[in-house]
Amino acid sequence: MAMSRARWTAAAGTLLLVAACVLPCGPLADYIGNSMPYPDPTDKLLQQQAAQAAAIERQLVIRASIAAVLAILGLAALIYARRRNRSRKTDPKT
């Protein structure tokens, strides 16, 4: 039995929402791990840590922006699928 377009759209929307939630997790974990203070750090080590934190923050902002777009697309797909299912149930022709 073939899946309807509404079901495919709902599945795609769900996958997009899951991807939007998972995408920022990598840089966020890196940032948390990198922000741990060193015992008795040298100036060079502090500069290196600050540079790594800045790079991770940039990557996190990029991934969060992509995740926001994916979440919007996922929500739009789920709304489309739900409306399509409702119209199919109320339409006596189908």
Q: Name the domain count of the chain.
A: 1
pLDDT exceeds cutoff 70 at 85 = yes
Q: What was the pLDDT predicted at 72?
A: 97
Amino acid identity for residue 64 in this structure:
A
pLDDT exceeds cutoff 60 at 1 = no
User: Can you give the residue range of the structural domain that contains 16?
Assistant: 5-89
Residue 43 within any structural domain of the chain: yes
Q: What was the pLDDT predicted at 91?
A: 60
Residue 94 within any structural domain of the chain: no
More confident residue, 38 or 59: 59
* pTM of model > 0.95: no
